[in-house]
Amino acid sequence: MPIQTASINRKELFLRACRGEAVSRVPVWMMRQAGRYLPEYREIRAKHGFLEVCKTPQLAVEVSIQPFRRLGVDAVIVFSDILIPAEAMGLPLELGDGGPTLPSPVRTKADVEKLRIFDPESETGFLPEAIRRIGKSLGPDVPVLGFAAAPWTLACYMVEGKAAEGFVTTKQFLYHEPKTFRELLHRIALATIPYLRAQIAAGVAAIQLFDTWCGELNLQDYQEFALPAVQEIASGISGSAPVIYYTKGSQHLLSAVARSGANVLSVDWRVDLAEIRRMLGPKIALQGNVDPAVLLGPPAKIREVTQDTINSLAGHGHILNLGHGILPSTPVENAQLFIETGQQALRQDVRPAAQSR
């Protein structure tokens, strides 16, 4: 069973870490923790389509809670998809063998102007309903996390119609029609704020913005286009719940990312957490950042990397996570080992002298 901090529950442990406070152990969860590496998830997916699971509260609740039952993770993230708001804004969403697609991509000013600012309870009410049910099932001591795509990342899918290497069409749009592209990002932000507020009202303890593709931008373009839209969202929900901002491939952007308004920066495995702490200081908490591929390795390696990651920040303002989503081929026992190692590890600065090296 997972180790529980004696004086505080999981939710308070998580929120203290979000505030940058020292904790007796780090809270730990995994991006994509509800997914294909779990046999119980595969059983449900054999009977139900991906979007059907997202849009059916009973199914979404079940797959959201599976990692808590199996692994004892410290936070439960609601099962959904970052493209749900794109569909609610008026873009048809299809899911085939090649992944999700938006067959009517946004390519012109007229396309941008047609995008709707939707009512999250009427258009995407299945999501807050799932959150309410998760909270009722788990009780008040377990943090439930909500999420959305950051505007740049969602814009990449909206313009390309799917994931695309380099996002050439998106960048072409940005450079040829910068004013229109800023309007696209602004509209996404305007739609995302009430979408996240609905999740917060339903009971999430924190929300995460996924900016998976921000690393495709250089620093100047990130600061001129992507960053203001993230700041708009952070300002729009400020004080309601902590904001975790995940950026991938963003080492060249971190000085700007730190100005996003997020309470927690979640980073991938390519960067050193201690170096980021030295660069950004203690005012912003950090999440991550074990390479997901490490969980394909032997137990000794998993324990070593996990402990080293924890020690790099000495437990101050740190939420232990992977540097990206867990890989589908990860053995369940290795995921379990990662979670247990994180929960059982003492901070380096409070470890008994006899155990220190």
Q: Which tokens go with 17?
A: 């870490």
Residue 303 is a catalytic residue: no
Q: Which tokens go with 220?
A: 């100047």
By the 8 A CB rule, do 167 and 216 touch?
A: yes
Catalytic residue among 32, 133, 187, 197: 32
Say whether 125 sits in a helix, a strand or coil.
coil
Among 74, 102, 77, 63, residue whose Cα is nearest residue 2? 74
Q: Which tokens go with 62?
A: 């079940």
Terminal CA-CA length for the chain: 28
Catalytic residue among 37, 157, 195, 222: 157
Q: Which tokens go with 318?
A: 């740190």
The CA distance from 225 to 244, in Å, is 20
∠ Cα 277 252 171 (to 5°)? 140
Residue 270 is a catalytic residue: no
Catalytic residue among 74, 81, 211, 291: 81
Phi/psi of residue 316, nearest 5 degrees:
-90, 115
Residue 81 is a catalytic residue: yes
By the 8 A CB rule, do 5 and 27 touch?
A: no
Q: Where are the beta strands (DSSP E) in 269-343?
A: 285-290, 318-322
Say whether 317 sits in a helix, a strand or coil.
coil
Residue 246 is a catalytic residue: no
The CA distance from 230 to 153, in Å, is 11
Residue 19 is a catalytic residue: no
Catalytic residue among 45, 70, 132, 303: 45
- DSSP secondary structure string for all residues of 27-42: -B--TT-SSTTSHHHH
The CA distance from 349 to 277, in Å, is 16
**Residue type at position 110:** A
Residues labelled catalytic: 32, 36, 45, 81, 157
